[in-house]
Amino acid sequence: MTPFRTATEVADGIRRGELSARDLTEQLFARIDASTVNAVIATCRESALEAASEADRAVARGDDAGPLHGVPMTVKDAFAVQGLPTTWGEPAFAACVADEDAAVVRRLRAAGAIVVGKTNVHHLLADFGRTENPLHGRTLNPRDHARTPGGSSGGAAAALADGLTYLEYGSDLAGSIRIPAAYCGVHGLKPTPGTVPLRGFQPPGPPASLAREFPLTVGPLARSAADLRLALRVTGGPVRPSRRSRLEDFSVGVVLDDPACPVTGEVGAVLSDAVDALARAGVRIHEGRPADVDLAAQAEAFGFQVELFFASQEGRDLAGAAKQERRRAVFTAAWARYFADVDVFLCPTVFTTAPAHDDRKRYDDQVFWIAQASLPGLPAVSAPARQAGLQIVGPAHEDDTAITFAELAADVVGGFVPPREGSSRVLDR
């Protein structure tokens, strides 16, 4: 029972009676206990094992099984999980135990998933480049412990890469799903904003409604694109079917570098090889950015949107907000025109591979490529392409088009590969 199977494979095996949910959950807890990456920071062993046993009994009885029946999984510590603390990495919240599940957690359980624990986050989710906090400490990258797993969903991505969970759920305001996915070599989806409910994703306290939700999204991380689709279907609203079902039918836009944020030679070479392989597979490649979209200007405009998000939560007004909203609308319209002829847009997730841990370093420059999907509110998948993250941006509300391309492209550009035990190389293949 390999810990690196996908959630889809595990769910199928449990429903057929070929796998035991109880055995899988026990083995997962054993791996969590033995892991040295500090990804899983809270568990609910007794209730999870009982739920797993009941899942096996339900299969034996022939009961109807949900799409995630018996699959053990974890969620980011920022989600409320009944009976577990919701800490956001803040010591003052250490004893704040949730009395109900977040909306996402309820929907995952309704689909049959077994939530076994929670994964580490950066302190108050305030960094997308690393994951560490004064309550639970630092999370390491399973592919190289000297490297960061990214943040703030670094615990989520590290848990998947280390075989400590079969599925994860995180959040993405400024790349907090996509950056960790790229650094740890797993898949991560930032859905179209509004697709997945945010209720229960908050620090401890009375239920709150966000004054402004954009550009915050919550979405799944997984070891396969098929798992992303499955997780989105059970937690989100209606999702349009993919435009294409065969790789060779896709029309794909590509930009792999920009003077405002040059990619490293390593990332550039890997992604260039990936695009060449896609072209050989029959994908129609269109090089160049969308008309009327300046990537540097879009990244700068996204920075204002993030600032506006935090200002709205604090009850502050920002000068120039109306002008910036009009600017966002112009970029959004340009992308809509672009996707009339192109199915997905490919670019780097980040310009580099996972950097070394460095408490003195800020990681602001990592958001440049993230912004290209975030500002216009587009769905985006970060998919592993050897040691780099390939960002697949889809049309608004067409998340499954991006997911399907990632799924079909995996055989060409490479999908998830488990880290080698004891590896000292970044994303060693």
Q: What is the 3-state secondary structure (H, E, C) of the chain?
A: CCCCCCHHHHHHHHHCCCCCHHHHHHHHHHHHHHCCCCCEEEECHHHHHHHHHHHHHHHHHCCCCCCCCCCEEEEECCECCCCCECCCCCHHHCCCECCCCCHHHHHHHHCCCEEEEEECCCHHHCCCCCCEECCCEECCECCECCECCCCCCHHHHHHHHCCCCCCEEEEECCCCCHHHHHHHCCEEEECCCCCCCCCCECCCCCCCCCCCCCCCEEEEEECCHHHHHHHHHHHCCCCCCCCCCCHHHCEEEECCCCCCCCCCHHHHHHHHHHHHHHHHCCCEEEECCCCCCCHHHHHHHHHHHHHHHHHHHCCCCCCCHHHHHHHHHHHHHHHHHHCCCCCEEEEECCCCCCCECCCCCCCHHHHHHHHHHHCCCCCEEEEEECCEEEEEECCCCCHHHHHHHHHHHHHHHCCCCCCCCCCCCCCCC
State the chain's maximal CA–CA distance in angstroms: 62
Is 152 catalytic? The answer is yes
Query: Which residue of the set 20, 153, 171, 176 is catalytic?
Result: 176
User: Chain-centre distance of CA 194, in angstroms?
Assistant: 16
Given a contact cutoff of 8 angstroms between Cβ atoms, the answer to whether 86 and 136 are in contact is: no
Is 53 catalytic? The answer is no
Query: Which residue of the set 152, 224, 242, 382 is catalytic?
Result: 152
Is 176 catalytic? The answer is yes
Gap between the Cα atoms of 113 and 98, Å rounded: 19
Active-site amino acid positions = 76, 152, 176
